[in-house]
Amino acid sequence: MKYLLLMLPTLATLFVPLYNIAEPRLFGFPFFYWFLIVLIPLSSLLTYLVYRGEKR
Amino acid sequence: MIDHLNWTAAAVFVVFFVLVTVLGFVAAHWKRGDLNDLNEWGLGGRRFGAWISWFLIGGDIYTAYTVIAVPSVLYAVGAYGFFAVPYTVIIYPLLYLTFPRLWAVAQRKNYLTAGDYVLGRYGNKWLELAVAFTGILATMPYIALQLVGMERVIDALGFEGTGLMSHLPLTVAFVILALYTYRSGLRAPAMIAFVKDIMIYVFVIAAIIVIPAKLGGYGAIFHSAGEALAKKAAASGGKVAAGLLLSPKQIFPFITLAFGSGLALLMYPHSMTGMLSARSGNTIRINAITLPAYSIMLALIALLGYMALAAGVQVKNPQDAVPHLILSVFPNWFVGFCFAAIAIGALVPAAIMSIGAANTFTRNIWKPFVHPAMNPHEEAVLAKLMSLIVKVGALAFILFVPTKFALDLQLLGGMWMAQIFPAVIFGLYTRWFNGWALLAGWAAGMVIGTWLAWTPAAWVPVHSVFGSSFAVYNGITAFLANVLVAAALSALLPNTARDDTRAEDYADLPETQLAE
């Protein structure tokens, strides 16, 4: 479970054809750009959850 | 020489430069330690807590060259340059899992470099040499490229000159850097990193608010950038794939480049130096959670390439796109601030890289092969001297070798660095691999990767696989060959070498031992 949470964003980056698209746009950003940007804080959040789980 | 100098911008630039120079020298007195001990000079005594590490590592791996180069690729070809974002998504989970273990064993055994660890784990000094050699080989052109980033902004300030005179400001800046690194060691870039990172954040926040406001919002920026890229692609007759989205042929190179670069980044000596200077494995974990803030900034910096296209910035060398964008949208005093941020952004990694390379040379080449009986004081003296030599070498590189060559070597450097990943990271979990097998795997990876990159016209970072339409980053192809060879030989030759480390050495230190 821990490894799955940590690896989720990395796995998401692998499926390039799925996010290599322009629509839907967000604030004028084509999907390709905002999707990759959103993965950054998501990865950070998942890592934090794993960290919390380990400290308990 | 200074007829076209932008005086306001240059004055602001110089003020900030002087400020960090003072900090660089004052840093010797910060968190006092005996700077004649390599652990103190080269790793800051392993005392940096989460905040300092955050600024230091952020300043270390998001370099000035990044600020110039990543947007320049988007400016030139579009979406492909955005590989830097999946690349930074990949590294932090990896950092979270692996580096606390490496930190723990390094702290217990007083390892300062990747080479130190490999020697302890596999008892093979030739593998240690290979790891050290790779690190130094890849770091030299990287330092040189920091200078390129700095020179771009000095040029954009309006400084002109011919021959060696044209490099005068750069040389002065670098000599100053060399002197305070010599004196203060890792404390200098750690202290300067605070100033650098805050300045870069201010620059980026201003850029992503002010520039879209001037250009009609992000929708308009992407629209005009897309048109400009389509024109470029059409003008090349379809030879250049440029656009807001990846062409089908770019998909594999895009993602393998991201993965390969991710494998390489944490292996560089300057990454090791940054991580091992942390106070505890937990400090590294906290940083794996908080450092992505820099990645968001990097993604926004990358988009500066599109803003330059949308603003109609026309430059021959794409690396001038960001400096010229800054010149065209900001008032002169803020131009000086932004340029100073980029230049100082070159100083921090250049200092850490030279320290990392110097530590590596001292501990893993000089000590085992020339003078085994070195004491910590002699180590520090040699490392300080090496940090000077490494910087002079990088400067000479820029003065006498075409920039294109440094760029090519840096691309190769990433591919080379990925080849020590099996020896260092696999070793944290298992000692099933034989040291000699890892050395053979390393050699196979280095040779195959370099051979793939070599074409008569230019070095190419990606290569099609068996003549198919799949092109893959050389670093990944070489890495797979490396692992295959290392695994096959380890199966034949079980590892029976001496191991200085035990399983419990990799666990976190008890909190009580960490208290100062």
Contact B442, B129 (CB under 8 A): no
Radius of gyration (C-alpha) of chain B in whole angstroms: 23
Q: B462 and B254 in contact (C-beta within 8 Å)?
A: no
Strand partners, B151: none
**Is residue B416 helix, strand or coil?**
helix
Amino acid B236 reads S
Angle between helices B168-184 and B376-400 (to 10 degrees): 170
Q: Among all chains, which residue has been given the structure tokens 């190419």?
A: B460
Residue A52 CA, distance from chain mean position: 19
Asked if pLDDT for residue B82 goes beyond 50, the answer is yes
Kindly report the CA angle at B367 between B366 and B372, in degrees rounded to 5?
135
Pairwise CA distance, residues B416 & B448, whole Å = 10
Nearest CA in chain B to A25: B219
Distance CA B199, CA B179 (A): 23
* Long-range contacts, stretch B463-470, CB < 8 angstroms, 24+ apart: B469/B249, B470/B252
Angle between helix axes B292-310 and A31-55 (nearest 10 degrees) is 170
Are B245 and A20 in contact by the 8 Å Cβ rule? The answer is yes
Strands B462-464 and B471-473: antiparallel
Contact (CB, 8 A) for B414 and B138: yes
Q: Residue B157 has what DSSP assignment? A: T
Q: Is A16 on the interface with B (CB under 8 A)?
A: yes
Cα(B143)–Cα(B347) distance, integer angstroms? 9
Question: Between chains, do B296 and A37 touch, taking CB under 8 Å as contact?
Answer: yes
Dihedral sign (CA B172, B406, B146, B81):
positive
- Report the Cα B365 to chain-centroid distance in Å: 22
- Residues in chain B with CB shorter than 8 Å from the CB of A27 are 218-219
Rounded mean pLDDT of chain A?
88
B285: which chain A residues are within 8 Å (Cβ-Cβ)?
Answer: 51
Cα–Cα distance, B195 to B202 (Å, whole number): 11
ipTM comes to 0.93
Please check whether residue B476 touches A, CB under 8 A: no
Q: Which amino acid, B295?
A: S
Q: How far is CA B159 from CA B128, B139, B149, B268, in A?
A: 45, 28, 15, 33
Section A23-28 average pLDDT: 87
The three-class DSSP label of residue B89 is helix
Q: Check CB contact of A6 with chain B, cutoff 8 Å.
A: yes
**Partner-chain contact A44 B89, CB within 8 Å:** no
Percentage of chain B surpassing pLDDT 90? Answer: 18
Chain A hits for B293, CB-CB cut-off 8 Å, are 44
Who among A20, A29, A40 is closest to B245 (CB)? Answer: A20
Q: Which of B244, B254, B296 sits opposite A16 (nearest CB)?
A: B254
Q: Which residues of chain A neighbour B292 with C-beta distances below 8 Å?
A: 40-41, 43-44
Tell me the residues of chain B between 235 and 294 that have a Cβ less than 8 Å away from chain A: 244-246, 251, 254-255, 258, 285-286, 288-290, 292-293
Q: pLDDT by residue (tens digit) across B399-441? A: 887 777 776 777 788 889 999 999 999 989 988 888 899 999 9
The model's pTM is: 0.88
Judge: A20–B97 Cβ closer than 8 Å, yes or no. Answer: no
pLDDT over threshold 90, residue B130: yes
Q: Per-residue confidence at B86, pLDDT binned at 50, 70, 90?
A: very high
How many CA atoms lie less than 13 Å away from A1 in the CB half-sphere? 5
Residue B463 Cα distances to B70, B264, B426, angstroms? 21, 18, 26
Q: Which residues pair with B462 in a beta bridge?
A: B473
Q: How far is B318 from chain A (nearest CA, A)?
A: 21
DSSP letter, residue B465: S
- Determine the straight-line distance between the first and last CA of chain B, rounded to whole angstroms: 53
Q: Is A29 on the interface with B (CB under 8 A)?
A: yes
Q: Which chain B residue's Cα is nearest to A48?
A: B289
Average pLDDT over residues A39-55: 90
What confidence tens digit (pLDDT) does each residue in B291-339 have? 898 899 999 999 999 999 988 888 888 888 888 898 888 888 888 888 8
How much is the pLDDT for B515? 41
* CA atoms of B350 and B25, how far apart (whole Å): 16
> Residue B155 corresponds to which tokens in the numbers above?
């040029």
Choose among A28, A36, A47: nearest Cβ to B96.
A47
Please tell me which of the candidates A6, A21, A36 has its beta carbon nearest to residue B86.
A36
pLDDT at residue number B470: 66
Chain B nearest-CA distance from A5, in A, is 9
